Each structure stands twice: as C-alpha cells, then as structure tokens.
Structure 1
Amino acid sequence: MFGLDMSFLNWDIISKFVIKGFIFSVELTVIATIGGILLGTLLALMRLSGTKVLTIPATFYVNGMRSVPLVMVILWFYLLMPAAFFDMIPGGANNRSEISAIITFIAFEAAYFSEIMRAGIQSISRGQVNAGRALGMTYAQNMRLIVLPQAFRNMVPILLTQTIILFQDTSLVYAIGAYDLLKGLTTAGKIYGRPEEAYLLAAVVYFVICFGLSYVVKKLQNKIAIIR
C-alpha cells in the first residue's frame, strides 16, 4: 500500500548487521546504568553533605549536565577530546566512537540518576537515621547499612524507567558513527536500497522493546507498592 518492502530483511542481514549493533546498544545501556548510578549516588551524597566544598561542585555538575542536550555532549566529547586520551585506553584507538559513547553516557546519565537517588535518600525518615546514630553508627555506616539500601529499593521503578529512556537515547551515538542498533539497521537499509523500511523497522524495534520493558516496570512498581 505504501510501497514498503521488508523482504531485504532476512537472517543473513540480521546476523551480519543488526545483532552487532543491538549488542552494543545493550552493553552501552547496562554499563551506563551501572556507572551512572554509582557516580550519581556519589553526587547525591555530595549534594546532601551540607559541606559547600562538596555541595557546590556537585550541584553545578548536575544542573549543568541536565541543561545541555545529550547529543551535544556526545559530539563535544568525541570531537574535543584529544586522540592521546583514547590511545591510553586498551583498544581505544580502534574503538574511539564506542569508548567515547560509554564515557559520555556515564557522565551524562549520572546527573539524572543523582536526582533520583537524592530523592530516595531524602524519602527515608529521619527517625531511622537517628536510630542508627543511637546505635553508635558513623555517618558512612548509617548511609551504607540503613539509608542507601532502602533508598535504592524505593527508587528501583524510577531507576528502571530512566534506564529505558537511556536505551532510547543510545540511538544518538549514531551521530559519531558508533555501531549501535540504529546504525546496524540503517546500514542494511542503505546497502539494499531500503532506507525508509530500515528507519521504520528501527522505530518498531525500539517501541516494542521499550513498551515491553515499561510494562514490566509497571508490574514491578505495583508489586513493590503491595509489599509496602
């Protein structure tokens, strides 16, 4: 009806072009999520420390990152970072786009995960913190044993939702030539003269994956609410 032809997409094409890109998109999502949560938690603790030396730079970093489009950060890091930096990383010279994407996503997503973790930490009642102090716990012990485990559990649905958004954003690494899911599909489409079908298929794949994951997160959120 619309002149679309998906016949070019067969297992040979999928195995040659699509799977490689899909694997990198998943790897980038997982690494950026783990790294972003770790760095984001550190930034959240710095902002809540009450010490200006820690609070001011952390606040500046978070607000600065959240004020700039991700695609600009991706391009800035890729174009402005000296080649010598990538040469210091094992395999970095041959995988500059991929390494650049991983570092950029961790740095950028940390700002968003930071706000999520900060809200989670602030959601823990003051009484529990005081109880920890009464038991002789230090600030670090209080955070590690009482506050952070509960904050993380409370924020799991939101953290997963942000991860889904992160997966969608991985398509932006196409701007620096990194071989992600979108790059794999569009490369196959261009080679076989079906770019429109490739972009349409990419949209469908992202929709199915993200919609499915959103459904799982919703179910998890309901289960956590029941447990509470």
Structure 2
Amino acid sequence: MEPFLDFHVIADNITYFMIGRYPNGPLGGFALTIWLAVVSCVLSLFGGLVLGLLSISRQRLIRIPVMVFINTVRGLPLLMVIFWMYFLLPLILGKTTPESETVIMGLTLFTSAYMSQIVRAGIEGIPKGQTEAALSTGLKPWQAMLYIVLPQGLRNMIPSFVNQFVSLIKDTSLAFIVGVSELTHVATQINNRTMAYPTEIFIFIAAVYFVICYAFTSLSRLLERKLAWNKSM
C-alpha cells in the first residue's frame, strides 16, 4: 500500500527549495525570501522613522502631505504597490530594473507606511514632561527629539518592529507574481514540473513559513516581557 503522503520530492529538491540555482545561477528559494525580507525591513526602518517623525511635525505643510501619503499607501493592496514599482521604476530610471529590486522597493514603500505609525505611537507614548525637561536645559526641539525622546521611544517600538518583520516575511510570497524566484515561486515551479506532489510541496512550504514566523513571533514576545520587566525595576 502506497503512503498517503510521499515527501521524497522535498528531499530530491531541497537544495533548490533553500537556495535556488545558487552558486551556478541566481539566488532563490528560502534564501531569497529571507534576503528580500531583511533588506526591505532595514530600508523600511529608515523610511518609517523619517515618515513617523514628519507625521508629528508642527508644520502643517509637512505633516498633512505626509499623512495623506501614509494613509494612501496603507489603504492600497500590497500587490498593487508591487505592480506599480514593477512598471514605474523602469520608466522613472530609464533602464530595466531587476525584478527583485522592484519587489524590495514595493515592500519598502508599503512597510515604511506601517512602520511610521509604530514610530509615531512610540514617540507619542513618551510623557510630554520628557520633552519639556529637555527644552528647559537649553536643548533645541530637534535635539530633544534626537537625544531624549527618540531613544526611549525606539525601545518601546522594538517588539512591534519584530512583528512587522514577521508580516514582511509572509508578504514576500507576493513576489512570485512578477517572476521573482522566492520560496513560493520555487514551490510552484517544482509542482509544475512534477505534477504529482502538490500536497507534499505546499505542506512543506507552509511548515517553513510557520517555523520562521513562529521563531520571530516568540522573539517579539520575549522582548515584550523583557522590556516590561526592565520598566518595573
């Protein structure tokens, strides 16, 4: 009697699942998924920080356009943002842009809008007295924000940043729509080639996503407990 599930297709293609054709070709699979997520997350941290600070600016001419941009991006499906980057970047730059770079830009733009609200909430969670005390010592408003308020706010933002990174890992699966050979795209290629093991292939993919996302979610919870304990000291 044949087994209900046969995972030998996973063992036969494990290298392709993990790194694609690398080193004899472009990086792909799980490694590319992590690469897309890490690069997009790092860029989004800077983008979210800038947008978050601008969104609380006292200048209406700065704050209102930034909030309109943030809310517009947050109101769009990520898939549409990726398509925009895929078709618009080559027109803007005047040259062909690698698919992976367009996906990174799309993920960065989308995630920056969400991270900006984490930054905003983290800063607004700091008591106003901190800013007033800093200003009373002779610091300028931007110095009070940079040296006093922001470092305290960033500490509170860390768990939310980790959670956003988890979402970003899952969002990279949309990169397959423009032909980027990340994990989901590789799984589809192997499934189309074998035409016999779709259940086994996508159970494996689901397990990989679950393990990596569960690991980072657990890290986020650990950080929340540690930060809460340090505050109580």
TM-score of the pair, normalised by structure 1: 0.90
Task: Please tell me the residue identity of whatever aligns with 2:199.
Answer: E
Q: Report the counterpart of residue 220 of structure 1 in structure 2.
A: 223
Q: CA deviation at 1:2?
A: 8.2
Give ranges in structure 1 of 5+ residues lacking alignment. 88-92
- Given that 1:132 and 1:146 are in contact with CA atoms closer than 8 Å, whether structure 2 keeps it comes out as yes
Report whether the alignment pairs 1:207 with 2:215. Answer: no
- Please list the CA deviations of residues 55-76 of structure 1 after superposition, one character each: whole Å capped at 9, or x if unmatched: 1111011100110110111122
Q: State how far apart, in whole Å, the 1-side matches of 2:211 and 2:153 are.
A: 30
Counterpart-to-counterpart distance in 1, 2:91 and 2:123: 39
- On the 8 A contact 2:17/2:30 being kept in 1, the answer is no
Q: How many residues align?
A: 221
Bigger drift between 24-33 and 74-83 goes to 74-83
- Equivalent position of 1:6 in the other structure: 7
CA RMSD across the alignment: 1.9
Distance change in 2, residues 1:119/1:2 (3 Å): farther
1:190 to 189, 192, 196: 192
Q: Secondary structure at the match of 2:8?
A: coil
Indicate conservation of the 8 Å contact 1:86/1:96, yes or no: no
Q: In the alignment, residue 216 of structure 2 is paired with which amino acid?
A: L
1:25 maps to amino acid = T
Paired residue secondary structure (1:5): coil
After TM superposition, the structure 1 = structure 2 runs for residues 1-228 of structure 1, keeping only pairs within 5 Å, are 3-10=4-11, 13-19=13-19, 20-82=28-90, 85=93, 87=95, 93=96, 96-193=98-195, 194-228=197-231
Q: Does the Cα contact within 8 Å between 1:18 and 1:184 map onto a contact in 2?
A: no
Q: Say if 1:161 and 1:217, in contact at 8 Å, map to a contact too.
A: yes
1:162-190 alpha-carbon deviations (Å, 9 max, x no partner): 11011111111111111111112222232
Q: TM-score, normalised by structure 2?
A: 0.88
Cα separation, 2, equivalents of 1:4 and 1:189: 15
Q: Is the 8 A contact 1:189 1:198 kept in 2?
A: yes
Shift in Å, 1:108: 0.7
Flag the 1:218–1:97 CA change in 2: closer, same or farther, 3 A. Answer: same
Which ranges in structure 2 are unaligned for 5 or more consecutive residues? 20-27
Letter in 1 for 2:214: F
| Structure 2 residue aligned with 1:90 | none
**Which letter does structure 2 place at the counterpart of 1:62?**
I
Instruction: Report the Cα distance in structure 2 between the residues aligned to 1:144 and 1:80, rounded to whole angstroms.
Output: 35
Partner-residue secondary structure (3-state), 2:181: coil
Deviations 1:185-215 (A, max 9, x none): 2222322232332222111111121112211
Return closer, same or farther for 1:157/1:2 CA change in 2, 3 Å cut-off. Answer: farther
Q: Does the 8 Å contact 2:9/2:201 carry over to 1?
A: no
Residue deviations 1:91-147 (CA, integer Å, cap 9, x gap) = xx4x62101001111111010000000000001111111111111111221111111
Report which stretch shifted further, 124-133 or 77-86: 77-86
Query: Which residue of 1 is the match for residue 23 of structure 2?
Result: none
Moved more, 37-46 or 190-199: 190-199
